[in-house]
Amino acid sequence: MERRHLGQCWFVGRVEDMSQQALEKPRESRGIPYQQPVQGWASLQHGECVEVWSMDSFRYVAYVDDRADDGTLIWVVEDGMGCRHLFVNGDPVTLYLI
């Protein structure tokens, strides 16, 4: 396992498992995101950086750690703190790919 800082996110795992998109520096954002939220969590890949929003407020930057194949649940690891969070489809949370 390797731990590598990727802009605002840390990646923990094998470097060869990281997607190219996760290697790109995420955009700086704390205002309302200008892009559409991720609709299907099944499209997210391990290591991708996301902004986590709840109740129209920014919460934190995280990276995708794991998810169900059907996209019904997702694990993210919070940048900085390293806290792992589980979200189930229908939770009051919105993810934005960065």
So what's the pLDDT on residue 54? 93
Long-range contacts of 28-32 (CB under 8 A, 24+ apart): 29/58, 29/96, 29/98, 30/58, 32/56
18 or 96: which carries more pLDDT confidence?
A: 96
User: Tens of pLDDT along 12-55?
Assistant: 544 444 443 344 444 445 566 678 899 999 999 999 999 999 98
User: Tens of pLDDT along 62-71?
Assistant: 999 999 999 9
Contacts of 27 (CB under 8 A, 6+ apart): 98
